[in-house]
Amino acid sequence: MVRTLKGHERHGGHRAAEAGRASEAGPDEQVERRAPESPTDLPKRSWGAVLKGTLQEFKKDELTDRAAALTYYGILALFPALLALISLLGVIGESATQRVLDNIQKLAPGAARDGRSPVVWFPALPQRLAAARVELADFLRVSAGDLALVPNASAGASVVYAALTLRPGGEIVVTDHGYGAVTMGAERLARRWGGRVRTARVPLNADEDAAYDAVVAELGDATELVVVDQITSATARRLPVERIGAEARRRGIPVLVDGAHAPGLLDAPLADATYDVWTGNLHKWGCAPRGTAALVARGPLRERLHPLIDSWAAADPYPDRFDQQGTIDATSYLAAPTSLGFIERTWGWPAARRYMDDLADYGASVIGSTVSGLTGADSSVDVGMPVPGMRLVRLPDGLAADRIEADALRDRVALELGVEAAFTSFDGIGYMRLSAHVYNTAADYEYFAEECVPALGKWARGN
């Protein structure tokens, strides 16, 4: 603060004396002597002047503007300072970084606290994903160290295909129940290395022994990979993946099990695993957000598995390197344990599975009997190794003779009847594939039987 001449005049000083002391700062001796020692020594009548003076000085020094500017610059400087701090802490180590991040999360307002700030979100993401993996591994009853997160079962298969080199003439064995897109990936892998795909034909009604024999019959010296479904998509049946895996392992052939439908539908789907790699969707029966799947890998192949997106954790071991995928949206992975936990808390998975299976039975009987009544032919299907929660009903002849027709039927039913239903095709025969989950009720299947089956009958007759 600058003392002004005007201020001295008001305190009764003499101009001449002041001029003589112009170079000396502060009040003269007389004033000093008379000055009160503390504010309480001030005579009452001075208080008004003190307050007035203080107010004038406050205004003259523009203290409100300075306070505002200080706050403004202080807040602006906060975030660069945090950035610098976090980058320096990175040198010390992850434990220090994490503590700072935890504290920022507690203190920071809005976007920063709930993680919308990229500065807060991305550095902490691998740790959050690792924690989610522990919960998901617990659900699947596998070790978290074996489980990597991938967006879907197709990606899980692609990860395996990308890791393999085939010898020229090398063979990949698949089955005719394989999921089309996954089989196409195997075909591309074979083409890339001058190899070929061999398809094991497994009759729909083949029991465990017959299915095992059909697959193992295709294994030979040239086999370099077996791709086999735990639960098939078009035919809603199981294949004996454990026995096939054991035989392939004995011969030194790696096996990829497509368990897309298994999580949630099967209790502990990997309990008896004998194979190297398994992939399964958590966004099907597990009800996780779309884009959540697990890849479980053991054995020598796993060290060669890398995420489809090269990112900063590329040099980390399996499965940690799957926890960084550039700026991909990983929220589905983080939410997956909540979805699984919701079903566990609300019904319990064993009870939920029982409900699904009973309801699928009911659905198949009510729809199947309506189709049979319409066509006069038996619509029930003899499925070897059936799965809980899914059933097939044979469609009237002339519908869904191949996959393209089955997809077209699905679209027509959605468009004209307002119902979402799954139609599949196997060996030239069309099926309705029924599924039941906790959100389905008997009324869903009764409605389809009453409202949709008559339309299917008409369409089969070409109307």
Among 146, 224, 229, 276, binds ligand PLP (CB under 6 A): 229
- First-residue to last-residue Cα distance in the chain: 96
Residue 424 binds ligand PLP, judged by CB under 6 A: no
User: Strands, E, within 276-396: which ranges?
Assistant: 277-281, 293-297, 390-394
CA distance 320 to 144: 10
Name the residue nearer to ligand PLP (CB basis): 108 or 234: 234
Residue 261 binds ligand PLP, judged by CB under 6 A: yes
Among 260, 360, 432, 456, binds ligand PLP (CB under 6 A): 260
Among 121, 179, 318, 333, binds ligand PLP (CB under 6 A): 179
Name the residue nearer to ligand PLP (CB basis): 261 or 410: 261
The 397-416 site mask, x for binding ligand PLP (CB under 6 A), equals --------------------
User: Strands, E, within 270-362: which ranges?
Assistant: 277-281, 293-297
Which residue stretch of 257-265, 301-309, 372-380, 416-424 sits at the interface with ligand PLP (rule: CB under 6 A)? 257-265
CA distance 401 to 31: 111
Residue 154 binds ligand PLP, judged by CB under 6 A: yes
Q: Do 147 and 321 contact (CB within 8 A), yes or no? A: no
**DSSP code per residue over 372-440:** HHHHSS------SSB-TTEEEEEPPTTS--SHHHHHHHHHHIIIII----EEEEETTEEEEEEE--TT-
Q: Could you say which residues in the range 278-337 bind ligand PLP, by CB under 6 A? A: 281
CA distance 187 to 171: 10
- Residue 180 CB, nearest distance to ligand PLP (Å)? 9
Query: Taking every pair of C-alpha atoms in the chain, what is the biggest distance, in angstroms?
Result: 127
Helix (H, G, I), strand (E, B) or coil at 224: strand
Among 97, 152, 175, 292, binds ligand PLP (CB under 6 A): 152
Which residue stretch of 149-157, 263-271, 332-340, 413-421 sits at the interface with ligand PLP (rule: CB under 6 A)? 149-157
Q: For 352, phi and psi rounded to 5 degrees?
A: -60, -45
Q: Do 230 and 243 contact (CB within 8 A), yes or no? A: no
The 194-223 site mask, x for binding ligand PLP (CB under 6 A), equals ------------------------------
Residue 258 binds ligand PLP, judged by CB under 6 A: yes
- Residue 260 CB, nearest distance to ligand PLP (Å)? 3
Q: For 174, phi and psi rounded to 5 degrees?
A: -125, 180
- Residue 407 CB, nearest distance to ligand PLP (Å)? 13
Which residues contact ligand PLP by CB under 6 A? 152-154, 179, 182, 229, 233, 258, 260-261, 281
